[in-house]
Amino acid sequence: MYRADLTPNQIDALESILGHVLSIDELAHYNSEHSDEYGYFLLPDKAQIGGRHLLLLYSACWSRGIWHYLAHYRPDVVERYYPVIILDFALVLSVIRDKRFPVPLFVEAAWRKADAVLFTPIGESYGPFSSEHLLRMVKPDCKTVAFTGPNQGCWWPVCELVGEHGAINLFNEGLNPDQVIDRFRDKKFDPKFDLRFAEQMAFLKGKQSFGSIRLTEFIQAHYRTHKLFFTFNHPTYNVLAFCADCALALMGMIPMGDEHSLSLPLDSISLGDIYPETHYEFEHYNLRYPMRYTAGSEAFYERKIHEAYARWKSNSA
């Protein structure tokens, strides 16, 4: 079902069951467990937002961190804008498979109502969820700002899918997972950091061509002195604050600058797991911030090496 299939009364009924309003006052109580089945939230009416402009956040779980930043550190923004998360994009694929609700209708309605949209570019393969499609829905005076998804996996010795280079090289030489683990423990493992860093910075720069925020410059300037990623697709709060600050500047708000973003607690909101830190990356990159997340490191990377071997074996079959 899409927009043409529904009457106005059906649309109203749909909106009454899709979720709840995520207001600025509810933010302190919000986390992923409290979201509704699909991660959608009803749009407020003008009375609820008190005459403020509607700011739509359309992204993956990064929206939660940006939301938190606006609520706790940018009162100048929430005086003018009412931020609403309508979608945790991590759920899009499961929603596409479930046709009980005309989801594209709801997403389009949100974009049509928005006065400003901060979004992660989403490809045409996602059809009615794609950025190109939804940008055609906005009002002529709506401000739209794209930001590149902050993904990087070159900060740990082994990282699934995007950072298994060192392990795969050894598998190609005939070593089994236990032998690779022995090298890892003996500090004789080569994670191929230089190659991975170059690859992933180039990939991120390529993605930036679809957005408005230059994240690579921020990473290049600060990665030695500040922890910037917890996992390959979960940045620290500082990175999300930087993305939000840049977006707000493009919307005409006063930018707070890098130092403001870097001064905030890096784990103000949890987006998932934290990959353990090791001496491999600290020594290679000459990282100068404290090593804080080391618990379970040996078991974690043993598991990652076994997982990498399973993928390598499957691909080699």
For residue 277, give both structure tokens: 């830190």
In a domain, 140, yes or no: yes
Q: Do 141 and 174 sit in the same domain of this protein? A: no
CATH classification of the domain holding 28: 3.40.50
Q: Do 142 and 169 sit in the same domain of this protein? A: no
- Residues 200-259 pLDDT 10s: 999 888 776 555 678 899 999 999 999 999 999 889 999 999 999 999 998 889 899 999
Q: Do 47 and 185 sit in the same domain of this protein? A: no
**pLDDT at residue 169, rounded to an integer:** 96
In a domain, 291, yes or no: yes
In a domain, 114, yes or no: yes
Q: Do 171 and 277 sit in the same domain of this protein? A: yes
Amino acid identity of residue 292, one-letter, is: R
Q: What's the pTM?
A: 0.81
Backbone angles phi, psi at 256, to 5 degrees: -90, -20
**In sequence order, which residues have a C-beta less than 8 Å from that of residue 299 and are 6 or more positions away?**
none
Q: Do 131 and 180 sit in the same domain of this protein? A: no
Q: Do 206 and 93 sit in the same domain of this protein? A: no
In a domain, 285, yes or no: yes
- The residue range of the domain holding 124 is 3-146
In a domain, 58, yes or no: yes
DSSP H helical segments within the chain, as ranges?
A: 8-17, 46-49, 62-73, 75-78, 92-97, 103-113, 131-135, 165-172, 177-185, 193-208, 215-222, 237-250, 258-262, 279-285, 297-316
pLDDT surpassing 70 at residue 27: no
Q: How many domains does one find in the chain?
A: 2
Neighbouring C-beta atoms of residue 37, cutoff 10 Å: 12
Q: Do 185 and 89 sit in the same domain of this protein? A: no
Residue 265 and residue 279: Cα distance in Å, rounded? Answer: 23
